[in-house]
Structure 1
Amino acid sequence: MSDRIEVKNVDGVADVRLVRRDKMNALDEKMFSALVSTTEELANDNSVRCVVLSGEGRAFCAGLDMGNFGKMAEGSGGGSPTARAPLAERTHGVANRPQQAVWGWHALPVPVIAAVHGVALGGGFQLSLGADIRIVHPATKMSIMEIKWGLVPDMAGTAIMRNLCRDDILRELTYTGRIFSGADALNYGFATEVSEKPYERAMELAKTIASKNPDAIRANKQIFNNLPDLNAAESLLQESVLQDKIIGSKNQIEAVMAELQKRAPVFDDG
């Protein structure tokens, strides 16, 4: 628990909440650090089978803290959490530190569901993209807002958005910074579904996922994350290799027995 993010793990579902309520969960230095460290901790916790990412208060995440933009205007180099170290330097595998605040959720070995309400602007919108699934309130205000500040989206959003949204719509939203609704996000491909109660719906879905064979769930996420970098032959081989590891394993046998015996499965988190 910190003053930026709180995590509770109940029955394999990690309930991750941004708790900077007074600032609409805006991204400051402490929030960036908390996002990165939280993904690192979750990645090493085998008891976690699914994650729900949400924001407390009036917003999911309002984007970069306004204080950072003030530092930019003053020329003091405070515009990024790296204090103007070159952003091209890779500090977390394929990503730099600001990117890892989003990419870390994408790279987690378990599914992540974002419950989005209020506003998800700029960096906050990109944060939602780090999730596998996004449940969004229809009235949520969303924007690829970086152009408002004379910038490009640089928190890993472009690597994910290109696979979700039609190219011309993505360009228009990025060029203009236009605010759009959660209902629009569903039409554009950014939202998986809309709900009047996104957090409750996300938790419901997470509990369903957490009740499945965790080995198969993790393998499924690995498959989908790797697909953009694989050709057809490599994709076919990948699913075969992973299936070979799962067939006949303890958890796969438990899934079969539970189904045949019409009972809830009891999986081993290993």
Structure 2
Amino acid sequence: MSDEQRVTVEVTDGVADVRLARPDKRNALDPAMFEGLVHTGERLKADRSVRVVVLSGEGPDFCAGLDFGSFRAMASGERLSASAQLPDTDGPARATGQRAAWVWAELPVPVIAAIRGNALGGGLQIALGADIRIVAPDARLSVLEAKWGLIPDMTGTQVLPELVGRDVAKELTLTGRFVSGTEAAALGLCTRTDDDPVGAALELARGIAGRSPHAVRAAKRLLDLAGRVDLATGFAAEQEEIGALIGSPNQVEAVTAGFEKRDPVFRDA
């Protein structure tokens, strides 16, 4: 099955609606799904018309993690994910599963994950690659790898502590316990809950897409630096970004539209 069949994309007014499209298998991860996620993310990186991405799953689940074929292959020491055909990368994520999750963090525009049903194991780690996570209150999330004698190897060990703290990350990883969407939001694993996470994510995305795309991209770059570089570097980056924005066409349009009490018309390039 091709990657296009595993992952679908529809772009409307700058919002890319990206969906894992294997609902009969709870959007489980197989080599074709890994390929679909990475290739889709790489294509979106290069599309200047895309201002925000919403990432969700078709059907009742976000992603239930690795499919059973991958687990059976592990019994003989085989990693089916290694068979995925992916483009070259110079980023920090090199393994197939890592790239399927990290490619969303690498996008220059905000990514909002909308989670309903199950987000388990690798499925949860893919959601961790998003900037914002909106989750149904009754969703089920788990760092499930402990159940299978594994560890989260799709960037989860590095990203999860940043969100929930090192101690909570250890508890979730070592136990593999399930948490509801409500508890996930309380822990910081998700941003907030909504009974219709996909609808809420699309509404939020449309609002962000109405802002200056250059300012949005700059804000994401700066916020991604926070805690990962020293303060002097972070403060200098702020000044570099604000210097590039002040007086730029989109910044002038934002001010002009505000005074004229109309919707701004921004350029993507």
TM-score, normalised to structure 2, is 0.95
1:42-87 Cα offsets, whole Å, 9 max, x none, are: 00000000000000112000001111001112x0513x51159xxx
Deviation of 1:190 (Å): 0.8
Higher mean Cα deviation, 221-230 or 239-248? 221-230
Question: Secondary structure in 2 aligned to 1:3?
Answer: helix
Question: Secondary structure in 2 aligned to 1:191?
Answer: coil
Q: Is the 8 A contact 1:135 1:194 kept in 2?
A: yes
Q: Is the 8 A contact 1:255 1:265 kept in 2?
A: yes
1:11-65 Cα offsets, whole Å, 9 max, x none, are: 0000001110110100000000010001100000000000000001120000011
**What amino acid does structure 1 have at the position aligned with 2:27?**
N
| Counterparts of 1:76 and 1:132, CA distance in 2 | 34
Question: Secondary structure in 2 aligned to 1:36?
Answer: helix
The correspondence of residues 29-178 of structure 1 with structure 2, limited to 5 A, is 29-73=31-75, 75-78=76-79, 80-83=80-83, 92-96=90-94, 97-178=96-177
**What amino acid does structure 1 have at the position aligned with 2:38?**
V
Question: Secondary structure in 2 aligned to 1:7?
Answer: strand
Which residue number corresponds to residue 26 of structure 1?
28
| Counterparts of 2:209 and 2:72, CA distance in 1 | 43
Question: Secondary structure in 2 aligned to 1:15?
Answer: strand
Moved over 3 A (4+): none
Q: Is the 8 A contact 2:31 2:83 kept in 1?
A: no
1:82-129 Cα offsets, whole Å, 9 max, x none, are: 159xxxxx9552111210101110110000000000000000011111
| Counterparts of 2:225 and 2:127, CA distance in 1 | 20
1:223-253 Cα offsets, whole Å, 9 max, x none, are: 1122233111111100000111111000110
Q: Is the 8 A contact 1:140 1:182 kept in 2?
A: yes
| Counterparts of 1:45 and 1:83, CA distance in 2 | 27
1:168-220 Cα offsets, whole Å, 9 max, x none, are: 22111100100111111011101111000000000010000000000000001
| Number of equivalenced pairs | 263
**What amino acid does structure 2 have at the position aligned with 1:154?**
D
Q: Is the 8 A contact 1:92 1:100 kept in 2?
A: no
Which residue number corresponds to residue 87 of structure 1?
none
Question: Secondary structure in 2 aligned to 1:94?
Answer: coil
**What amino acid does structure 2 have at the position aligned with 1:93?**
G
| Counterparts of 2:136 and 2:90, CA distance in 1 | 32
**What amino acid does structure 2 have at the position aligned with 1:49?**
R
Q: Is the 8 A contact 1:77 1:83 kept in 2?
A: no
Unaligned runs of 5+ in 1: 85-89
Question: Secondary structure in 2 aligned to 1:163?
Answer: helix
**What amino acid does structure 2 have at the position aligned with 1:77?**
E
**What amino acid does structure 2 have at the position aligned with 1:114?**
A
Question: Secondary structure in 2 aligned to 1:52?
Answer: strand
Which residue number corresponds to residue 238 of structure 2?
239
| Counterparts of 2:253 and 2:145, CA distance in 1 | 48
Question: Secondary structure in 2 aligned to 1:228?
Answer: coil
TM-score, normalised to structure 1, is 0.94
**What amino acid does structure 1 have at the position aligned with 2:78?**
G
Deviation of 1:2 (Å): 1.8
Q: Is the 8 A contact 2:128 2:156 kept in 1?
A: yes
| Counterparts of 2:70 and 2:183, CA distance in 1 | 29
Deviation of 1:131 (Å): 0.6
CA RMSD across the alignment = 1.5
**What amino acid does structure 2 have at the position aligned with 1:27?**
L
Deviation of 1:167 (Å): 2.1
Deviation of 1:166 (Å): 2.6
1:122-154 Cα offsets, whole Å, 9 max, x none, are: 000111111100000010011001111111101
